[in-house]
Structure 1
């Protein structure tokens, strides 16, 4: 029997960003790799790409068509394993795969951070918690990417056949790595920055959760003490214009670079001195892991994802949400102590290599996959 695996997500760029090593691994195991998502990217290691109109918002009518398309796709192929990712990809794939699962298809779901967690609004618990708890019954293996979600799923008695904790999707430590002072200087020159600039970097969509306003307000408090400081903000989103206006109001627009969408994040991290992060909710943030892999200390708002990665006085600091002055104090501490900057950067890099690299995550995930391949007579399907 031909072996097939299906990866499902809301948008196909999710695959490009996080899952290509796992596609490659399945190809090496002799599997035909299928993907199901919205978008028309050309993806390596994929045998068949199915464009499904999945929308991020659960109330979009297009999701009804997406469900029917997924159901037809899953029932017309004898997938051994489906591994689904992203909230709507996970919802639709598990619902659409109910009949196939009864015939032996195995369903894996990776929760990239539950929307309900400590400190979440009540509406998140009322809306998302019942959905995830019900869908756990349709899941052979629920993978969580942080300790808080793992413990929550176990304590709340989610009925997945297995609940596993894997440390994220992995960071490519060959692409994201520290560079020598000389090469850093060369890269800065190429990007239009000087050697004596103090560069702080954050890559995230401009939305309410990512909370870039905190960074702008904190930056305004240090502009006189670090006149050569620059804040680099990569990303797009609905609140981008509002943040531009806030920078102007605070008188810092000349020192804040709104970089838009970038595909050179690795280079931007290599030229930076400090990673900052202001988001209110995170599962296990790739942007912080990439920064740590590049040897940067981190100052970040305290949340479950950041808390898993940033350890106070080891590789950076965690700050209470909207505590602008403490955030500013820690930025000044990093600026004024180059030895501490190097030490924290090395500690962060070591943590990534030991626990969060693509190599380590691939080893962990492949062990999960092999369990199904061996114990379940090679029956497996993966939706990401």
Structure 2
């Protein structure tokens, strides 16, 4: 079969979808990709001689460039006569389904987390929900990655087939790489006795790093180092907050990192305070590395973390609740070994091998 993978930007292909595309090629399918090139595509695409169509998608739903993207994509799908167009990310998926609705091509859509969910703003519900519900009529196969989205899509949308898969797949073997803990701590300037707390995520409002910084203000007398890996628009604001609280010697913004797994290997606690997620890979990476997780009680996180079973959940807006979790951690009353063991068992279900088998099953059933 001829399959076209569509994403809004190239970064998504590089970060998550190469194993999926490789699996389809190994199954005998011909795969092409379409996206806006923001980050150069990895050598994989050239090595496999994959046709790349540059489409002027914009991440803003109101951008004028999306009309050109619609026209370009519709023309490509019509001329190349693809059997399946498999689309990811909200904007690309909206445009793709509009472009394909009168064509014979089957449309697969992987929703990596709807913008409407329990606790979402009224604006998100008023804007995104009716669009997704309408476009589900032109979706042959809708693939979701968390229980809340799956249930809503199954109960209220019109897609011919709705499936739940365990995310994009975590390469568990990458988590088995040994790390010299002493050397890594020295590299990051962490003294031998300090507890290492880690968060990973873009420095924006959704990732909610501010509440962790605010909570740690209460524990100035404790020997810890809080590391935040990520870049984003709130960097200067977070630095001001850190300095204002007198925590500049205890909290460090590490920027974009390629060594997250190595940093997890020296971490004692992983905090993930997001307001919205689909199914967070960084939480899975923490689980796979045996790092206890304290995460916000939201869609996606709840799929991975069961409170008091393999980690702890808190309401992302409840500062005192988070302080309570940190108190338990610093006083060595957290069930670290129990959380570690249970997380390692659970995260095995989210391995890339397991997810690719789920995807093979879906393709075989609907084609």
Indicate the TM-score class for this superposition, using the shorter chain for normalisation. Answer: over 0.9
Q: Measure the CA separation in 2 of the matches of 1:313 and 1:337.
A: 15
Alignment equivalent of 2:320, drawn from 317, 325, 328: 325
Whether contact under 8 Å (1:177, 1:295) holds in the other structure is no
Greater RCO structure (CA 8 Å; 6+ sep)? 1
Q: Which residue of 2 is the match for residue 253 of structure 1?
A: 248
SS in 2 for 1:292: helix
Q: Does 1:309 align with 2:307?
A: no
* Aligned CA-pair RMSD: 1.7
Whether contact under 8 Å (2:213, 2:242) holds in the other structure is yes
Alignment equivalent of 1:199, drawn from 190, 196, 201: 196
Q: Measure the CA separation in 2 of the matches of 1:139 and 1:245.
A: 46
1:337, distance to aligned residue in structure 2 (A): 3.0
TM-score by length of 2: 0.94
Show CA shifts across 1:137-174 (max 9, x none): 11011011111111111222x11011111121111101
Q: Which residue of 1 is the match for residue 158 of structure 2?
A: 159
- Range 201-210 or range 341-350, more displaced: 341-350
Q: Which residue of 1 is the match for residue 140 of structure 2?
A: 140
Whether contact under 8 Å (1:177, 1:270) holds in the other structure is no
Q: Does 1:99 align with 2:88?
A: no
- Structure 1: which 4+ aligned runs deviate by more than 6 Å? none
Alignment equivalent of 1:33, drawn from 28, 31, 34: 31
Q: Which residue of 2 is the match for residue 69 of structure 1?
A: 72
Q: Which residue of 2 is the match for residue 269 of structure 1?
A: 264
1:273, distance to aligned residue in structure 2 (A): 1.1
Q: Measure the CA separation in 1 of the matches of 2:101 and 2:291.
A: 45
Matches within 5 A, 1:1-384: 3-39=1-37, 40-45=40-45, 46=48, 47-100=50-103, 102=104, 105-156=105-156, 158-177=157-176, 179=178, 183-224=180-221, 226=222, 228-337=223-332, 340-353=335-348, 355-373=349-367
Whether contact under 8 Å (1:234, 1:261) holds in the other structure is yes
Q: Measure the CA separation in 2 of the matches of 1:146 and 1:125.
A: 18
Q: How many residues align?
A: 362
SS in 2 for 1:276: strand
Whether contact under 8 Å (1:301, 1:318) holds in the other structure is yes
TM-score by length of 1: 0.90
Q: Any unmatched runs of 5+ in structure 1?
A: 374-384
Q: Measure the CA separation in 2 of the matches of 1:185 and 1:351.
A: 29
